[in-house]
Chain A
Amino acid sequence: MDCYTANWNPLGDSAFYRKYELYSMDWDLKEELRDCLVAAAPYGGPIALLRNPWRKEKPASARPVLEIYSASGVPLASLLWKSGPVVSLGWSAEEELLCVQEDGVVLVYGLHGDFRRHFSMGNEVLQNRVLDARIFHTEFGSGVAILTGAHRFTLSANVGDLKLRRMPEVPGLQSAPSCWTTVCQDRVAHILLAVGPDLYLPRPFCLVFPLALPQTPPGLAPGVSSFLQMAVSFTYRHLALFTDTGYIWMGTASLKEKLCEFNCNIRAPPKQMVWCSRPRSKERAVVVAWERRLMVVGDAPESIQFVLDEDSYLVPELDGVRVFSRSTHEFLHEVPVASEEIFKIASMAPGALLLEAQKEYEKESQKADEYLREIQELGQLPQAVQQCIEAAGHEHWPDMQKSLLRAASFGKCFLDRFPPDSFVRMCQDLRVLNAIRDYHIGIPLTYSQYPQVLVLRRLYPLAIQICEYLRLPEVQGVSRILAHWACYKVQQKDVSDEDVARAINQKLGDTPGVSYSDIAARAYGCGRTELAIKLLEYEPRSGEQVPLLLKMKRSKLALSKAIESGDTDLVFTVLLHLKNELNRGDFFMTLRNQPMALSLYRQFCKHQELETLKDLYNQDDNHQELGSFHIRASYAAEERIEGRVAALQTAADAFYKAKNEFAAKATEDQMRLLRLQRRLEDELGGQFLDLSLHDTVTTLILSGQNKRAEQLARDFRIPDKRLWWLKLTALADLEDWEELEKFSKSKKSPIGYLPFVEICMKQHNKYEAKKYASRVGPEQKVKALLLVGDVAQAADVAIEHRNEAEMSLVLSHCTGSTDGATADKIQRARAQAQKK
């Protein structure tokens, strides 16, 4: 037990810090760490090294090598660096390696040294060169901050969605700041920099003070003339400053509050300074590293000091600091509360007693019972078990984990109702963690991010086993891993497209949650367009296929897929894409083969782009539609008669071309009519334009222009029947009975004389009506007589005709007493007819 706390170092009264070895490094470094650019990803992530030849006076003859190792020093990748000088390396949150070049170009590599993409940090950076660069992480992703040769800062808060922000100038900044860092306040990333004794926080969005004012941290000891090093905590909440007087100030990142200070009396600038704290712990400490010395300082008069035998490098983690050198990889952190309670010397905490009890029990000593009793008397057995479980999680060595878990399991036996989940969960978690901490895998994770991390390392079988072991739902776990595997598979350039596609489909089948379009997107990203198309074939939702097809410039295929999906919006999206991509002729040709798309586009053009619509019809030689188009235009666009007639003429020509003579003639008639109506308006006044032919003639008659009306009827060859109907109605409307009679006698009526009777009755002129009733032909006579109200005569005619239907019609008109006699007469005639 004594030896277990041997590596515990107290800092102040309440906290202990311990440093233990994770791995002895397996790498075979030729260089000193100090000669290299080093970047290590957080969460036990990989380490990238690039021997930096550009910093030396004389450039090295050979090209440098970029090497990537796991945390245990297992080489993952190694490649010759062929691009320009690199200023800084860093890992993004997705474990992509970002290499910032002197010219502001950032190259992005995968974990295995595969080149992903590159982007530039802008022209200004290119001109002034990069002096210094940092990669930082915020809740939005990973960002890049750059200090240019002109002492200006440019940053992008998320490299996935590149938006460059140029920070405002700092007044009087003639040389590079002595130190700087990125901070994140109010969800915005800023630069904090130190110039002499002043700190600046330029805010690009502040309108009142576009230039930053110098700030001084509260409670700073006097005599400071410059800051040598600064560090922000993992969560951006705290800031530590190291001054040229060997004094360390620790406070909040907003510079509003001081937490503590420490004077270490070392004036040499430290190599590195990082925060070391764990979530929910009140203790805060900063680890400072010099060439051969490591110091942990916090809110205590004394500091903890370690001697460094070798060149070392610090990696801040969420709950501690990793320290690695050529030969070892160590972890330095604050001892967690549960462990402290159990292992502290002479601890009487329930967990400590339980552990002791279990040990005695194994020795078959009766002391076990004593200890157990002691805990039970205090009623603290559940806490004891809980403590042991928790502490096991924080232990690195499996032996210690086991003995703690054994103690917990022992304690559980004496409890009736202790929920088993936390114990089971911890056992599972530890198995997983131990597996990945294994030297071959080399991920010294402390907790909980595992499946995701493993997948990035292409340890698929292990990841799948873990997911199944942890019973993650399929969609979350296995599917994601399979999809990831497939994405990796498409990058194997030496396998043929067919084989890859088949292999992927065989393995994935219809696994829920796997998106073939994502995999295809990856294939396209690797330049394997054909493979991507093959993979898309497996995508069941055609809608999903379209965006990628568009990206791959397979627009026509995209169009047919969109049509297949039945989603008109999608079709429309593709159409607009095509419209920009192809020249007009090709675009129209494509449309022609896709009637569904064509009609959709036509609908749009009808409302929004009339000219295009015309071109469309022209292209197709669709003269019929062109004709309609011009007719519509004659109504919509043109005000003046001449313009309208011209439009109609074009329409008529088109109709001729379409061999639609009827329409052409009709249009020509319309032109004639329009011109005529115009003339009539000029000569007679009144409203003629846009009346129908029929109405034009009627209007003429109503205004007494009989001559003109006749002329018009002849010109436009109005059929006799229509003319008669027309005149009849018009004259009756005028109540010009004399003219009507004259008209009726002008020749034999082509529509008979019943309409005359009807129209007179409509105007309530029985007298006139009777005149015509006598002239109505025999078939309609009864009807006419009934209309004028001559029931008796109607009956006579009906009887004469011996027509059953007519007789019943008359009968139905016989009302009450007046027509009694008539009714009888009909009844008699009927009876007679039936007898025969």
Chain B
Amino acid sequence: GHVTMVLLFVYFVYEESMLDFRLPELQSIADFLGVPISWQGTLDSVFLLVEFGSLEGAKRVADRCMLVRGLFELWGQALDHPSLIDCLRKSPDFFDRHLTNKKFKYMIESFGRSYPRDKQMEMIEQFTEQLAHGGSVSMKDPDTILWVFEDVGRQMPPDVPPKQVYYARELHLSQSRKVAQQYTLKKRHYLGTTSMPAEYSFVMANMAQLKAHDMVVDCFCGTASILVAAGHLGAHCYGVEIDPRVLRGREEGKNVYSNFKQYNLVKPEFLRGDMARRFFWRAADTFDAILTDPPYGARAGSRKVNEKTMEKIIQDHKEGAHTDAPIIPTEGYELGDMLTDLLNFAGRMLRPGGRLVFWLPTTELYTDKELPSHPCLELLYNTEQPITIRLRRRLLTYVKTKKHEGEVATAPEYSPDMKSMEYQSDTYLSYKAKVEKKKAAVRKYKEDHGIPIVSKAERRREYKAKQQKVTQPEQECEAAPAADVQPQNL
């Protein structure tokens, strides 16, 4: 039979770091839930008309997608409010069906601008009067919720008119907003520097199409922040981590289990293991999904360990102070090696149809030549996220298409000179030029106003001297050397 699609106006989340992820997430979840979906054009700001197999299916998709705010029935669009009202007068059917003898309320939502309450009320009055659509206002219990959307754009001056205005009836607001709030890192009990924000973890889980009772592994789990999302979705979670300190935590009662306790989730199974020597898995095809944020290694420009610190670590280790901690490896985990290990692991351990979702560190100079590959893994999605001026990362989603036969992953050579390449990128150079310009301006100002110019090293010495004075008053009394005063020969 022929499927009659419904055309819905989808309102997406605007999050600078997740712009390119919205349509891939939508596609992945629609496929997962078996809901036919299609759209035309691109998602330039936050609005897009999307066809779904059914309204019911669309609601299920919206609820699972972290980057969808809601689904609407579009009644009209135009360049400004008066034109919009004209356009709407031509569609009395909508009003007859949803407003005559019905209770309604209005929402005003502008992408890129915010209006104070009285300005919003003014707009609402304009629409209500000029459309003369009947019905009665009910804030608490409306039958129909009408939204007036404006697409202005980010950081536009106040006099710039919207690119487009829309009038739409609310069909469904996504439940995913509540999930994001529930799992926000701001309230998380155990965090580390590498903990993944809730939205990203859930988007990863959506790219992997996780469902209840899936077996999922994060093979570089750290504080297991990604597994929190998997746990929420009812998956059985496994975390592999080489460093016992991040599992153990630094304080009593705050460790890798704390977050699962906090959210009342089933505790994952953790294992200490080294992905470079991952002998310990008995059988292939065990996992439904692998989700991970691997160590970025040499590519991210790993800092050299300070010599003194290094000596102390080795000394402590010899004396047995930290017998459990791994010695800082003298060679880093090279990115290429890590990727072949990860893909070989996935090639063996995923069930056919299972997905591998992970972040690949990269720069502005990325090309597809940087992608690792494995004959059993097909790349489905590849979306970029900016991190800093120099660094970006890509979320890669692979699916296992056939059974594994041996360790056969390949990764390109990642230039060890990546650090200098990063410093030559256009973005970095223009940023550096701005910084230099500002420094020159500050120097000139100081010269013009007779303010002494003190070097950074000098300022640091002054600061340290001040700190010493503050902390040493008691010590000074003890440490004053007993001067061996010889009687003077006068």
A, B from the same assembly? no
